[in-house]
Amino acid sequence: MGKLDLSTAANRDDGYIPASASLYSGISRHDFPEDFLWGIATSAAQIEGAAFEDGKGLEIWDVFSRIPGRTFGGQTPDLACDYYHKYPEQLAMMKELGFNSHRFSFSWARIIPDGTGPVNQKGLDFYRRAVDKMLELGLTPNATLYHWDLPQGLEDRGGFLNRDVVNWYGEYATLLFETFKNEIPLWVTFNEPIATYVGYALGAFAPGRRLEKFGRQANHNLLLAHGEGVRRFRDVFGEKKPYDLSHANIGIVVDIWHHHPARPDNPDDVRIAELENEKAYRSYLNPVFKGCYTDALLKYMEETGSMPEIRPGDMESICEPLDFFGLNCYNRVVDSAEPSAVKEEIEFRGGNYMDNGQEFYPEAIYDALHNLRDNYFTDIPVIITENGTFNCGETPVPDENGYMRVHDTTRIRYLHGFLTCLKKAIDDGFDVRGYNVWTLLDNFEWPAAYSYKFGLVKTEPGAPGENPYVKKDSAFWFKRFLE
């Protein structure tokens, strides 16, 4: 398949309707609030590329991806989707598909190469150009300060194991708040903190450390940095106000993959699922919204020798009031002491597996919203900050006119299912203000590198030269949905 075919296919959009579109209809954007935000979510390390250009410093993923065996095929984020150079056309594509918001992240090392010290003006100028382009296109900027890409210079000083990270992060946050004070209405302190735990406790993510105590200490210091970021935000923007896009708002993004026992009447299955929930999303939601770790988590950390250093006043520092909450929701997890019971439970529900082997469980988004409202808060709105799926029949095939198409029907089914459940939640009174699909382009998916394809649009990230875009059937479906 040559570049000419792909390029030609990318220009054949007018009037194309996927054959699967009629199978997944029945809802549209008009079933949601008029001022609802419809966004595309991305992150700097996954799309920007230009890893060594214009003064950018090393990030932990630049280093980690070069350790043999840590990423698929040894692939790196060096080039990724080349958003650094191609952001105008990629942002224009979001607008053309009908989206009205863009969730992105700043690269700390592009702005402050060593994490502290001199500011790289070329890095700040890049983000100024990108944000200006978003505003020009009518895309509401939704900015994340930290999306897993710590400057390597700070990791060399202990990273999130060093309590000084709280002030390092605070200074970085203040710089961005002051620089973009009048342009960005939505700010996120941290995206999915559990990735930091995985990088320090399990070694699967950067920086690749492997000790439970490291993971728990990194978690605690990250939460302290989150609280510091919220305080710095109030210093710049003033006292807390009700959520409104006419002024700046701040939140945090946590992913909820709720663990269900395969056999609710089996004590072992229940115990496993509950412990996994305690170790994962509850280890962030409880401190952020209740100012404490749960008794179950404290007991686990005591028994495993992984209790972090917790100083007087820490929990109060973490528990700063937020303006909104960002929910990343992809699926649920089913746990059992007997692995065969997991398959039996899913098949009991109808055997809803997707092309990638994962369960199709769109109710996960409704369950997560119930969980948040019933157990954590009722007074701040929620934005769905990520939702999507991967590897759904990604091979281009020619249509009757010879133009290449990507028939990712399973992705359409997934998106339709989750949006249907989201509509039900809103109809039931849940205060949800926006939804972001992950993501626009196939990009660098961490250890899976370029082998996991999450994009609505096909490209060949990580390869030099021109890589034309081919809108998948899911992109055309979403465009019709948003029309």
345 labelled catalytic:
no
Q: What is the CA radius of gyration of the chain?
A: 22
Catalytic annotation, pick one of 386, 394, 445, 460: 386
Tell me which residue of 56, 74, 145, 71 sits closest to 103, measured CA to CA.
145
Catalytic annotation, pick one of 155, 192, 278, 345: 192
171 labelled catalytic:
no
Pair 56, 153: CB distance under 8 Å: no
Q: Which residues are catalytic?
A: 192, 386
